[in-house]
Amino acid sequence: QVQVVESGGGLVQAGGSLRLSCAASGRTFSSYTMGWFRQAPGKEREFVGAISWGGGSTTYADSVKGRFTISRDNAKNTVYLYLQMNSLKPEDTAVYYCAANRDYGLGRRYDYWDYWGQGTQVTVSS
């Protein structure tokens, strides 16, 4: 069955770093675009960034550009997705979700994405 599982969230001080991981299996996720979204309390889920199936193209929300980096490892049966977050700010506090889409490339719309993880909490203290 399909499994999309995030890990690596936690509490960090402003200016610090965290690295989130996601393991996706049960589909040929090596041919899927993978991405990260986040949702803060009382706000809508927002796009953070995405990476093409081969890793050659990435795109980021303006709010994280230059601070966050997405990478992926297309292993045999599982795709591993990473989000390196540097220079964290309190406004980065949110639940972070890993997602996969087959047909819409680096599209940012929430409804383009087919599979989602359960989320991992990131809290940045000031």
- Residues 17, 55, 23: CA angle, nearest 5 degrees: 60
pLDDT value of position 50: 98
Cα–Cα distance for residue pair 118/53, rounded to 1 Å: 21
pLDDT value of position 105: 87
pLDDT value of position 76: 87
- Mean pLDDT per 10-residue segment, the chain (126 residues): 97 98 97 98 96 96 98 95 98 98 91 97 97
Residue 44: count of CB within 10 angstroms of its CB: 8
Cα–Cα distance for residue pair 14/115, rounded to 1 Å: 31
Cα–Cα distance for residue pair 118/3, rounded to 1 Å: 10
